[in-house]
Structure 1
Amino acid sequence: MLFLVENCFQWMGFHLVNCLLENGYKVDGVDDLSSEKKENLSMYVGRNASFQHLTSSKRGTTYDRSINIKDKEFVLTIKQNTSHRIKLPLLFGEWMPMKRDGMYLQSTFISFDSDIFLNEAIYIGDFMRSLIQWEKSSQLPEVLEVKSINNKQNEEIKLENSVYIRNNRTIEENLEMVIKHYEKFEELY
């Protein structure tokens, strides 16, 4: 199966490309290398024989699936016919914009000890494992709301269009792993 991932060297795109490659998919990734961070992330996947970096999507190529990564959602397109919007929870993980005590969501700083982070954050690896399952589904809704299992209070969301993800490890264990990664590679963040 051939995937197209747009914004593949944005930090979430990097995790998505790795996840797809680890699950045996072929991936064409579209992104510019406009920053040192994107150049560094491109080196981690660029040598994989199942990955091809493009500066724009190849005309005439038919992709089984394409995923366009935006700030607050992924747009999954199946065979260029049906699109599904996956509204993102607060994701955290290696390579995200961060400091030792918090992360940035666009230009907003979110402290790791804040209620927002502790109740809404989902580790990127747990999210990606779920995404691999969703892309295989033949009954994915047009809009899918993804939330942390710790954040079930929003009653406006239709349950049939919602998925609640539980972190496989505690949020503190995942956060400790991310902070260690940040400390090791701080100059590349």
Structure 2
Amino acid sequence: MHFLVSQCYSWEGYHLVQALLEDGHEVSGLHGPSLSDREVHLSMYLGRHAMFSEGVQNRDYKAYISFFGSAETDIVSHRHVDISYEAGDAPKRGNQILLPILYGEWMPRDEHALSWNGNQIPFEDAYFCRHALPIKPVMQTISKLLSGNREIEKFQFYTKEVCPEQEDRTVIALARNLTDDLAVLHRHYAQYSRFYN
């Protein structure tokens, strides 16, 4: 299958492209006119993959995936899926995946806090500790959803601790080990901090 991903060198886009490539899909990536140092760094990882290409190709895309409402209106695809962070009561829109606060390699951060939705959130913040999910399993799950035949209307991710008890099959609960995950991420940041800025 072939997918088109906007903002492919953003932190979130990079991890989704990686998950799609690991699942054996071809990916075309779109990005803005100028790249940050981090995006240039991440583009070097993706650019070496034989199943990845930049720009819109003359292909029949299984889906066009955009982040945060960044879809280009002139792109034709079987379906369009927008991936956004939930902020309070998000308006109901079709073909949408809502993310909780995420953490993982290359996330926008400094030594003590991550940047999320325009805010600096310390790693010991109660909201972060209760709701944050690791980006890699989230994007791996999204890759599986995108490649399946089930129509995506609106999916939402939660940690197992806060997942609402309901029969709604569009709610996805994931487990995590926040303490171990953060220890690994802090070591990664210490080693590659110049690429995080």
Q: Could you tell me which amino acid in structure 2 is paired with residue 103 of structure 1?
A: L
Q: CA deviation at 1:151?
A: 1.6
The secondary structure found in structure 2 opposite 1:68 is: strand
Q: Could you tell me which amino acid in structure 1 is paired with residue 175 of structure 2?
A: R
Q: Where in structure 1 are there 5+ consecutive unaligned residues? A: 72-77
Q: Pick one of 175, 180, 183 that aligns with 2:187.
A: 180
The secondary structure found in structure 1 opposite 2:78 is: coil
Q: Percent identity?
A: 27
Alignment partners' CA distance in 2, 1:47 and 1:126: 23
Aligned twin of 1:107: 118
Q: Where in structure 2 are there 5+ consecutive unaligned residues? A: 70-75, 82-94
**Superposed CA offset, 1:80-123 (max 9, x none):** 24652001111111111101222111321111111111110000
Aligned twin of 1:164: 173
Cα pair distance change 1:101/1:82, threshold 3 Å: closer
Cα pair distance change 1:115/1:92, threshold 3 Å: same
Runs of 4+ in 1 over 4 A off after TM superposition: none
Aligned twin of 1:18: 18
Q: Could you tell me which amino acid in structure 1 is paired with residue 124 of structure 2?
A: D
Cα pair distance change 1:31/1:82, threshold 3 Å: closer
Number of equivalenced pairs: 177
Instruction: Provide the TM-score with structure 1 as the length reference.
Output: 0.84
Aligned twin of 1:96: 107
Relative to total residues, which structure has the larger strand share, 1 or 2? 1
Alignment partners' CA distance in 1, 2:80 and 2:7: 20
**Superposed CA offset, 1:34-70 (max 9, x none):** 322211110111011111022xx34x53211221122
Instruction: Provide the TM-score with structure 2 as the length reference.
Output: 0.80
RMSD, matched Cα: 2.3
